[in-house]
Amino acid sequence: MADYDVFVADCPARSALDVIADTWSVVVVYALGEGPRRYSDLRERIGGISKKMLTQTLRKLERRGVVERRSLATAPKGVEYRLTNLGRSLLEPVSVLARWAEEHAEELAGDPPD
C-alpha cells in the first residue's frame, strides 16, 4: 500500500522537521515571508523572542540555506534578513500545516501542553 519506509533516518518528513521544528523557526520564516526585514524590526514584529533566540534561529536558518543575511550601508546602518528561494519554497508546506491546525482548532483545544 504505502511505498515509503518509516525508519527515522529515511523519513523525509523528519528532514523537513529538522529545519522547522524548533520554537521559533516557522515564526521567523512567516515574518520574513512578508519581505526583507531588519533584525530589530523582526524582533518587534515577533512577540516575545529574546535576542539570543532570534540570533540563534537566524543563524541556523542561514546554515540551512533558508535565510540570507546582508549588512546595510545606508543610514541608519543595520542588518537585513530575507528568505532565499529555498526559504520561499518553505512557505507553502508551512501554510499547509497552519491550515490543518486552524481547521482542527477545536479538537486540539482541550489537551494539556504535554
Partner DNA sequence: CAGTATCCTATCGGATACTG
Partner DNA sequence: CAGTATCCGATAGGATACTG
Residues that bind a second copy (CB under 8 A): 1-2, 4, 6-9, 11-17, 19-24, 26-27, 30-31, 33-35, 45-49, 60, 63-65, 86, 89-90, 92-105, 107-108, 111-112, 114
- Which residues are within 8 A (CB) of 89 and not within 5 positions of it... i.e. 6 or more apart? none
Query: Which stretch in 20-28, 83-91, 94-102, 103-111 sits in contact with DNA by CB under 7 A?
Result: 20-28
Q: Taking the complex as a whole, how short is the minimal distance between the CB of residue 56 and DNA, in angstroms?
A: 7
Per DSSP, what are the bridge partners of residue 78? 72
Q: Is the dihedral of CA 25, 28, 32, 37 positive or negative?
A: negative
| 68 membership: H or E segment, kind and range | strand 67-72
What, of a second copy, DNA, none, does residue 26 touch, CB below 5 to 8 Å by kind? a second copy
Task: Work out whether 72 is an interface residue with DNA (CB under 7 A).
Answer: yes
| 79 membership: H or E segment, kind and range | strand 78-83
Contact assessment for residue 54 and residue 39, using Cβ atoms and an 8 Å cutoff: yes
Radius of gyration, CA atoms only, the chain? 17
Nearer to a second copy, 8 or 75 (CB): 8
Using CB under 7 A, list all residues that contact DNA.
22-24, 38-41, 48-53, 55, 58-59, 69, 72, 76-80, 114
